[in-house]
Amino acid sequence: MFDAVDEKQQHQVSHPDVYISELTFNNAVSIPIKQDDIVVFVGSNNVGKSQCLRDIWNISKDFSQGIVVNNISVFKDAKSDLKSYMSSIATFKRQNNVNVYLGLNFSIGESLFRTFLQNIKCYSAFREVFICFLKTDNRLSVCTPPEIIDRTTPPTHPIHVISRNASFRKKITAYFAKAFNCSIFPNTQHGKTIPLCLGEIPEMNEISADDAQDFVEKYAQQLEQYPVLHDQGDGMRSFSGILLYLSVDHFRTFLMDEPEAFLHPPQAVIMGRIIAESLSNNQQAFISTHSQHLIKGLLAEAPERVKIIRITRNGNHNNVSVLDNAKIRELWSDPLLKHSEIMDGMFYNNVVVCESDADCRFYSIINSFLKEKNNSYPESLFVHCGGKHRMAKVVAALKSLNIEFKVIPDIDILNEECVICDLVKESGGDWESLRSSYRILISNIENVSNLSGKQIIEKIREEIGSEDNDPLPKEKLKKIQKIAVPKSRWDGIKHAGIAGVPRGQAYEALSTILSELEKINIFIVPCGELECFVKSASGHGPEWVNNVLEKYPDLDDSVFNSVKEFILSWKITAIP
């Protein structure tokens, strides 16, 4: 005989603290995991992201060794009242004087309770109680209507679970509506199976009936007119397959393989937000993904919980790099970086960091042209960070994930020691070894004007003249500004590049600096700034790029030779 536990009792019993506390990879790197972490595995194709999930799943059952993840550690609170908890989420029967607990995909004898709490390496028979593995190949079938069962029979499908629990139904309906603007609910009156219907549940006052039985019959007839989920597209069904299992709250750990599969980018963002929102503080997730949109959704909802692990592969050897919660929060706190494409770099071979969007566009166009000439495809992501002052922060994030990078600042970055110093340090260089050369360079690039304060005041008075009581014309204001802020040689270097640096010691010092910067993947624009590659085109930034491409539509034109040579020096494009 089976005994069922009602919803009220279920919520009176606290969840036991059971979670994966550490992953050890095949390169001997161990990464600690918190109870509420959302761990995201990223990297290019065939590096082992999905294998990590399979390894965790397999190791959780026994002591077997994984392929990419060699081992796991599991935290279990030995003081947990496991018997009370299992009684609250499962049905049980007496068999040979032993209680057997049955629920969604599990059947566990009470004799295994003590073994589970003492074994710190795996979950054994309790894996299906605490871990949910959502594979890409079975999420679509989750929406297939299961056969109806009586209320004393243990659920064998998540639709059975939500059919019996109003709070679970409310939860899944709210999340589904966020993505598809309609509700979803189980039709328990259909007959042999329980399909999921799309639409709003009819209000009781909308159905006129003679008695309760008549009401049930008319309610069932009305539900038969609703569209059903299992007849919808792959995106909606895959999305719902994840929601169904997320609504089952006895799972402590979720393994999700590409939850963005079949979804358009906006829905992938919503999926990420829903995953982060639905996981309680005592639930964790391990996610394999190719989608920056899913990651942005996760970060938008819970940046403090996300831990990104990037996997690279060399033969049978896997390397892992971690962008942990603290580093993600730091990156996510910068509004410009938050809404940039920097996170997309996790899915590319390398990232080229530029100062502006115009730089990215122009360099990426020329790089793509060079790659096509070489019969290959671009494998680099060009991102801008809103100016040179953020370059060091972006590089720090890229290094944390072991992403190869190239940094392309304008030459005037050398005019601010703190900025170039921070960038050198984050790129892995030694600023102290460059300091003497830098001092020589700076000492030779001085302001042209050596006027004293008194002389500056006299020149301003001369410029104002007799108009001291009248509004000054715009032209005079510009002249006064030039007097107060004397022109620097950096103004000329910005537009002339290396050629504008004084000959002799300064030029020699600059050559030393540029050579050392290239060793740590910093490539300063040799002509000064982007627009100086093609001076015959007018405008600045995006306008300049448009003018160049309109004036010189043939990228084989010799006008592009200098920028091609510059890009080839980064060594992300083979020489055609």
Cα separation, 295 vs 300, in Å, equals: 8
Instruction: Work out the pLDDT band at 188, boundaries 50, 70, 90.
Output: very high
Across 114-123, 281-290, 404-413, 521-530, least confident range: 114-123
- What pLDDT score does 377 carry? 75
Instruction: Work out the pLDDT band at 60, boundaries 50, 70, 90.
Output: very high
pLDDT tens-place string over residues 506-542: 999 999 999 999 999 999 999 999 999 999 999 999 9
Most confident of 34-38, 207-211, 235-239, 477-481: 34-38
234 Rama sector, left if φ>0, alpha if ψ -120 to 50, beta otherwise: alpha
Taking alpha carbons only, the member of 78, 8, 18, 3 closest to residue 250 is 18
pLDDT tens-place string over residues 320-336: 988 877 877 777 777 76
Cα separation, 297 vs 89, in Å, equals: 31
Percentage of the chain surpassing pLDDT 70? 92
Cα separation, 424 vs 418, in Å, equals: 10
Read off φ and ψ for residue 87, nearest 5 degrees: -65, -30
Instruction: Work out the pLDDT band at 410, boundaries 50, 70, 90.
Output: very high
Three-class secondary structure of residue 147 per DSSP: strand
- What is the residue-averaged pLDDT of the chain? 87
pTM for the model: 0.79
Cα separation, 417 vs 397, in Å, equals: 21
Helix axis angle, 357-373 to 542-551, nearest 10°: 30
- What pLDDT score does 519 carry? 97
Tokens (6 digits) for 532: 């100086």
Tell me the C-alpha to C-alpha distance, in Å, between residue 175 and each of 165, 265, 384, 540: 16, 17, 34, 46
Q: Which domains does the chain have, with CATH numbers?
A: 7-156+247-321 (3.40.50), 334-447+489-568 (no CATH), 453-484 (no CATH)
Burial of 411 (0-12, 13-18, 19+ CB in 10 A): buried
> How many other CB atoms are found less than 10 A from the CB of residue 186?
24
- What pLDDT score does 348 carry? 86
User: In this model, does residue 498 exceed pLDDT 80?
Assistant: yes
